[in-house]
Amino acid sequence: MKRRTNTQRRPRPKLPRIPEEMRQWSDLLLREILGWPDVSSRPMFGMTAVYRGDAIFGVLPRTRAMDTPYSISFKIPRRNPSLKKRLEDNPRILPSTRDAKWISLELQSGNNLPDAIRWFAQAYRLTAKAGET
C-alpha cells in the first residue's frame, strides 16, 4: 500500500472558531445528549463527538465548528421522503449540507436548542437502526 505524499493530501478543512455564546449552547446540548442511553463523548478536532455505542452520530463545537461558528452537525446516513422534506424545509439547515451524510444546523439563539435536540435525537435513532441491520 502506497502512502500519500504531501502533494497528494487533501487540504484540511477550515474549522471556524466559535464565540463564547456558542460554547455555552454546546455545553447545554451535550449535557442533554449524554443523558440518553448508551451515549458517550470524545474530543475531536476542537469539537466533542457524541456516540451511540461505537457509532458517531453528531459533533458539538468546543472551540471549533464544522461549517460556521454557530453550527452543530449530526449524521443522517439515509433518509426517507418525509425526512428529506423536513431537511429542505428547515431554513437553519445549511444548504450545502442538505444532501450530505453530515448535516449542519445553524443556531441563531438559545431558542433554537429544542430544535437542535430534536435533530440529534433523529440522528441517535437512525444510528440505532443502522446498527441493527
How far lies 123's CA from each of 4, 10, 33, 72, 128, in Å?
Answer: 33, 28, 11, 12, 9
Query: By the 8 A CB rule, do 36 and 124 touch?
Result: yes
Q: What pLDDT does residue 110 have?
A: 94
The average confidence (pLDDT) of the chain is 89
Q: What pLDDT does residue 1 have?
A: 54
In this predicted structure, the answer to whether residue 107 has a pLDDT above a threshold of 80 is: yes
Half-sphere exposure at residue 55, Cβ-oriented, CA atoms within 13 angstroms:
17
The whole-model pTM stands at 0.84
- With the C-alpha atoms ordered 86, 91, 92, 98, is the resulting torsion angle positive or negative? positive
- 50-84 confidence digits (pLDDT tens): 999 999 999 999 999 888 999 999 999 888 999 99
d(CA 30, CA 33): 5
Q: What pLDDT does residue 14 have?
A: 80
In this predicted structure, the answer to whether residue 15 has a pLDDT above a threshold of 90 is: no
In this predicted structure, the answer to whether residue 133 has a pLDDT above a threshold of 50 is: no
Kindly report which listed range (5-19, 49-63, 113-127) carries the lowest average pLDDT score.
5-19
